[in-house]
């Protein structure tokens, strides 16, 4: 475990040394979403009976912040290492591809949880957000952050420059996040868009995570957890294969 722990420690230090940029800044941007959308739509939208729209927004925004930052952590680390050339020191060390994978994903989970927890604690000073089931919240927070951390490893391996990584984030991660039900409930959409939303794995992460707060969701949390877990296993297998073969990192 020495190699895994060393790489994990390095990855944790990497984002913590610039915590103002990697943790505090995402918290501020997420709170701006909350203030703007709640101010505009508070009097016009009620997602769940008895739940104010601002309170409804909080879990979705917390999960969105966790997903985006978990992805950003692993993807940015890999692309920086490739461009600066220090990735060679990781490849030459006696680390297995499994240790590399789990170190990057674990660090991504830690950063995602740090940002999400910060956003949630700050919102508690302004709004009364219930927490009905902590185990459900924790399961979806861990699983969602791990899944996006693994996707971030794929993006970091695939991208050869920052422009490609930015394109992956802007045209894949960002649309899937915003169209996952963060700002609305899926039943409020027309039938076509409801069906399309059910093809979005991010929807199941948001919906299951929100269930832990309100005991209300668009679909069963057990179904959401099964789909998210299946996606994580599939993405992890693909990531491990890419690392094992040295795809775009051994040249």
Place of tokens 């009976």: 49
**Would you state the pLDDT for residue 251?**
64
Report the percent of the chain where pLDDT is more than 90. 57
Q: Alpha-carbon distance 168 to 162, whole Å?
A: 10
Domain membership of residue 8 (yes or no) is no
**Would you state the pLDDT for residue 139?**
96
**Would you state the pLDDT for residue 243?**
93
**Would you state the pLDDT for residue 203?**
94
Q: Alpha-carbon distance 84 to 78, whole Å?
A: 10
**Would you state the pLDDT for residue 57?**
87
Point out the residues of the chain with pLDDT beneath 70.
Answer: 39-46, 251
Q: Alpha-carbon distance 65 to 166, whole Å?
A: 17
**Would you state the pLDDT for residue 50?**
75
Structural domain harbouring 157: 53-245
Domain membership of residue 97 (yes or no) is yes
Taking only the tens place, the pLDDT of each residue in 27-56 is 888 888 888 877 666 665 667 777 788 888
| Best CA proximity match to 211, nearest among 201, 200, 199, 223 | 223
**Would you state the pLDDT for residue 45?**
63
Taking only the tens place, the pLDDT of each residue in 70-101 is 999 999 999 999 998 888 888 888 899 999 99
Domain membership of residue 9 (yes or no) is no
- Output b/e per residue, 149-175; b: 16+ Cβ within 10 A: bbbbbbbbbbbeeeeebeebbeeebee
**Would you state the pLDDT for residue 230?**
97
**Would you state the pLDDT for residue 216?**
85
**Would you state the pLDDT for residue 44?**
59
Domain membership of residue 117 (yes or no) is yes
Number of domains making up the chain:
1
**At a CB cut-off of 8 Å and minimum separation 6, what does 137 contact?**
59, 131, 209, 212, 213
């Amino acid at each position: 475990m020495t190699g895994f722990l060393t790489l994990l420690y390095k990855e944790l230090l990497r984002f913590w040394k610039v915590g103002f940029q990697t943790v505090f800044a995402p918290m501020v941007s997420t709170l701006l979403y909350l203030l703007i959308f709640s101010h505009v739509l508070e009097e016009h939208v009620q997602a769940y009976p008895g739940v104010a729209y601002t309170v409804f927004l909080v879990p979705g925004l917390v999960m969105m912040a966790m997903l985006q930052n978990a992805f950003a952590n692993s993807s940015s680390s890999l692309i920086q290492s490739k461009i600066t050339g220090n990735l060679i020191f990781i490849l030459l060390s006696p680390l297995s591809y499994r240790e590399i994978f789990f170190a990057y994903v674990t660090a991504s989970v830690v950063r995602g949880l740090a940002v999400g927890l910060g956003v949630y604690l700050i919102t508690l000073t302004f709004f009364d957000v219930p927490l009905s089931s902590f185990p459900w919240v924790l399961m979806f927070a861990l699983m969602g952050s791990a899944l996006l951390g693994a996707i971030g490893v794929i993006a970091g391996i695939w991208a050869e420059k920052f422009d490609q990584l930015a394109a992956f984030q802007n045209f894949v991660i960002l649309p899937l996040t915003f169209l996952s039900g963060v700002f609305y409930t899926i039943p409020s959409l027309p039938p076509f868009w409801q069906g399309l939303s059910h093809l979005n794995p991010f929807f199941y992460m948001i919906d299951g995570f929100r269930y832990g707060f309100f005991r209300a969701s668009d679909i069963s949390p057990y179904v959401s957890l099964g789909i998210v877990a299946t996606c994580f296993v599939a993405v992890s297998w693909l990531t491990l294969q890419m690392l094992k073969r040295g795809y775009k990192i051994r040249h």
